[in-house]
Structure 1
Amino acid sequence: MDYFGDLRRHEVKPGDLLIAGLGDENHAVGRACVAPSDLGPSIVKADCFRVRLDQSRLLHRYAAWALSSSVVSGQVLTLTRGSTRARINLEVARDIQLPVPSLEEQRRIADFLDAETARIDQLALKRRQMRNLLTLKRERVIESTLGLERAQTTDGLVPLKYLVADVTVGIVITPAKWYVETGGTPALRGLNVKPGFISTGDLVQISAEGHAENRKSRLNTGDVVVVRTGQAGAAAVVPAELDGANCIDLIVVRPGRKLSPRYLQYVLNSGYASARVTEHSVGSIQAHFNVGAMKQIPIPSIPRTEQDEIVRLLDLRAGALDLLDRKLNHQEQLLTERRQALITAAVIGQFDVSTASGRNVTDGVTA
């Protein structure tokens, strides 16, 4: 509190207008809100601007909505700087132009958007809660089908190393020295691997020399790659289109003939395996999982034919839940788009907010 006293000129009080000077792909630079009444002693830091307007001309509540509209955020985007994250400074923030209707109209717009966005936000929250429940149900279905709910002892479980052909690790020592912009070999990193699938949207490439020097980390179709750092334990089967690629700081499991790659993927992404990965991960900032611990994870030892049948059942059972999750996610996206369209339409005066309902005013409006 003594230091807070020294920084009093940066203080935030309830009702102040706050503008974000930094943005990313999910959060627009220049977005704004009004400081809530229960915030408590607070200050602004760099990349967050406190604004106190002449509210006899421009209300903070209305200004926050106007700054969050598409028409203003598009304007702000043209003023941004920064190669990796959109950023504006205080001088740019001062030059943002807002539509300024009468004070009474500002109040009506703010009241309307407070009520209608709260309705949309509540619907979105319900979708997220349903998705969380689906995630829990999916985990239970997988563990039950795998028979891992009863895996409290090591009966019927064998360390992974005895069931697979090999367990190795991707490039660990200064992988960046092999990076090339074009003409190289794709290389998977931890951020490319999610539970059950591989994202190829942000692949790096390594040179022919680096690929030749790191033969042991070359990937084959059907290998299972496992994240070591960050989302430790997340596992995915290497698809045919990545056959011959390389990898960086990933554990590579080569299943061999005893294990179905898809079966192993389901096991490693289960709550049962996640608990063991967490137990054997090290690192105070990011969880880090090593090859030795991977080899020791107990895996059900069952015939390959049984594994294939379990995969078939899980594809049906988990697949139905995944389809529902995708539908709920799509609904969330539509609600987000509708919310943004509603804000923009209200701010630029496309309808009379004193007589409108948010459920019938955004048809044809582009967010």
Structure 2
Amino acid sequence: MWFRQPSGWTPVQLGSVCLETDRRVGRARSNLPIMSVTKSGIVPQAETYTKEVSSQDQSLYKILKPGEFSAAPMSLYYGAVGKYRGHEEAIVSPAYITFCASGSVNSDFLDLVLRDRRIVQVYSALSQGANKEGKRRTTSFSDFCSIRRPMPRLSEQCAIASVLSEVCSAIEAVELLIKEVEHAKTAVMRELLTRGLAGEWARMVPLPERWVLGRVAEGVTHMPAGWQLVRYDEACLSIQVGIVVQPASLYADVGVPALRSLNVKENQVDRSNMVLISEKAHKANKKSELRAGNVVTVRTGVPGISAVVPDDLDGANCIDILISRIGKNAVPGFLTQFLNSSLAKRQIAVLQGGLAQQHLNVKELKGLKLLLPPLDEQIAIADAGEAFDRRIAAERAHLSELRATKDALAQELLSGRVRLPASMIARFETAPPHEAAAE
């Protein structure tokens, strides 16, 4: 790919600023953390894989120091490269490339350049070979090093990195806030779903029976007086599955909306990527017609995720998801808060038994146990959960805006289409390359 050269920028070959390192662990097994290289950057291996995939023999693993870089040749075509931002040494697979930034380039600026959308397209164009799914195409380090790209002088690199670092810090702050609110909701909902609104002041009575899958949660042996320990199907009129036989053959350009698993999020319906089925197909599948207030639940992939069908989707249909038609003794919003809680997830996880293909069938959903309070308390508990959901949704929307701003700003600054004021660049005239982000 040809990169336009802004005034004052110089073409630079990546090989001149990316200096390969090849420090191996050696004979002794390392106690250093193992990292993976993804399109999101360098992350702990445990965040990428659900089980340990590293070899027992780590002698050939490569040592990565803080501030150095690593790239995955077989995943570079979609941007698996980044700067290691940990505070201690780590190790990576011997299949990865490790390198450091030369003294002539700011490492934070280099990280931005190497993960820029346009240069990732170059990695993809240089990649060779693929498996049957068209994945794991390899980009060699020599090809990587051959890429030429215009770069500004060091002070402008530092200024660009500093500006984008501020936006990244704002993004990280919102990400952290979302996690904190999610953790708070988990704790609060566990309390509300097991002790009710009265909390520690509630009059508790022993559970009437032992659960097949264990108690409601660790340490819970009692329930509030006036509550019932019930199976999920005792709160429902019926539970069934949406269309499962060749649903793709029913799709139409005009017709009736049909929810799929990807439309069902925790306590909300995502209308993006919603498909339509023909009127004829809808009439032929009346059993899976949705009504406002029904609860829809994901059955394959991330089973158990549930939402209430909103008023504007009354009369829609659904594909390969579970439909619960709720009885008069339960509130739909309360049931979705339960199904999306750690209490239900724990039971569903036991049912899965470590299977690679996660699946929840009608019988399993019916058998989930929950504590059912009186209707007025169900409404109050559902309202509390929905208040958390609204805050989380608002912060996620803010996060999306910040990410879009960062992407747009990075595109303009890294291409040189937008230049920073000379006064801002002058602040970095004497700053060492590694100090840009600290300015």
After superposition, what is the alpha-carbon deviation per residue over 1:308-359, rounded to whole angstroms, capped at 9, x for unaligned?
xx424642x44544454345445544554565526853762434434169xx
- Per-residue Cα deviation, 1:146-174 (whole angstroms, up to 9, x for no partner): 445775458721222233211111223x4
User: Where does 1:1-367 land on structure 2 (aligned, <5 Å)?
Assistant: 18=71, 33=82, 38=89, 40=91, 42=93, 63-69=110-116, 73=117, 98-101=149-152, 105-106=153-154, 108-112=155-159, 120-148=167-195, 152=221, 156-172=228-244, 174-281=245-352, 284-304=355-375, 306-307=376-377, 310-312=378-380, 314-315=382-383, 317-326=384-393, 328-330=395-397, 332-333=399-400, 335-336=402-403, 339-340=406-407, 341=409, 344-345=412-413, 348=416, 349-352=419-422, 353-355=425-427
What is the distance in 2 between the residues matched to 1:38 and 1:117?
26
Mapped partners of 2:149, 2:355: distance in 1:
46
Separation in 2 of the partners of 1:192 and 1:167? 19
The one-letter amino acid of 2:259's match is L
Shift of 1:230: 2.0
Residues 220 and 283 (structure 1), Cα distance of their counterparts in 2 relative to 1, 3 Å cut: farther
Question: SS where residue 293 of structure 1 aligns?
Answer: helix
Identity %: 22
Indicate conservation of the 8 Å contact 1:18/1:33, yes or no.
Answer: yes
Cα distance 1:13–1:328, how it changes in 2: closer, same or farther (>3 A)? Answer: closer
Aligned residues: 333
Alpha-carbon distance in structure 2 between the residues aligned to 1:331 and 1:300 = 35
How far did 1:196 drift? Answer: 0.6
Distance 2:397 2:277 in 1: 36
Q: Is the 8 A contact 2:257 2:275 kept in 1?
A: yes
Q: Distance in 1 between matches of 2:345 and 2:103?
A: 57
Q: C-alpha separation between the residues in 2 aligned to 1:356 and 1:339?
A: 21
In the superposition, relative to structure 1, how do residues 215 and 283 fare at CA in structure 2: closer, same or farther (>3 Å)? Answer: farther
Change (3 A) 1:44 1:179: farther
Closer/same/farther in 2, CA of residues 282 and 221 from structure 1, 3 Å limit: farther
In structure 2, relative to structure 1, the CA distance for the partners of 1:18 and 1:343 (3 Å cut) is: farther
**Retained in 2: the 8 A contact 1:281–1:287?**
yes
2-side partners of 1:100 and 1:212: how far apart?
A: 61
User: Which secondary structure state, in structure 2, belongs to the residue aligned with residue 99 of structure 1?
Assistant: strand
CA distance in 1, matches of 2:147, 2:358: 43
- Checking the alignment, whether the CA contact within 8 Å between 1:282 and 1:288 is kept in structure 2 is no
How far apart in 2 are the matches of 1:272 and 1:35? 37
Distance 2:323 2:276 in 1: 18
Range that drifts further, 176-185 or 258-267: 176-185
| Cα offset, 1:284, TM superposition | 1.5
Which amino acid in the other structure matches residue 271 of structure 1?
A: S
Question: C-alpha distance in 1, partners of 2:380/2:345?
Answer: 22
Distance 2:146 2:312 in 1: 49
Cα offsets for 1:123-147 (capped at 9, x unmatched): 5434323322211222233333344
Structure 2 spans left out of the alignment, 5+ residues? 1-25, 27-54, 126-133, 197-203, 205-215, 430-439
* CA apart distance, 1:237: 1.0
Once the two structures are superposed, what CA deviation does each residue of 1:180-236 show, in whole Å capped at 9, x if it has no partner? 241343221111111111112112333445434433222122111111122211111
The residue number in structure 2 matching 1:360 is none
Work out whether residues 109 and 161 of structure 2, in 8 Å CA contact, stay in contact via their aligned partners in 1. Answer: no
Question: In the TM superposition, what is the alpha-carbon distance from 1:266 to its structure 2 partner?
Answer: 2.2
Deviations, residues 233-264 of structure 1 (Å, cap 9, x unaligned):
11111122222222222111101323222222
Q: Distance in 2 between matches of 1:189 and 1:115?
A: 43
Please give the per-residue CA displacement for 1:33-81, whole angstroms capped at 9, x wherever unaligned: 3578956464558xxx99999x799888755433445xxx358769978
The secondary structure found in structure 1 opposite 2:150 is coil
Q: Match of 1:284, SS?
A: coil
Distance in 2, matches of 1:343 and 1:141, equals 42
Query: Aligned equivalents of 1:296 and 1:303: distance in 2?
Result: 21
SS in 2 for 1:127: helix
Q: 1:275 to 1:40 in 2, by over 3 A?
A: closer
Task: Return the TM-score normalized by structure 2.
Answer: 0.58
Q: Following the alignment from structure 2 to structure 1, what is the Cα–Cα distance between the partners of residues 369 and 329?
A: 15
- Give yes or no for contact 1:19–1:50 (8 Å, CA) kept in 2: no
Q: Please, which runs of 5 or more residues in structure 1 have no aligned partner?
A: 358-367
The residue type paired with residue 239 of structure 2 is V
- Indicate the structure with greater strand content: 2
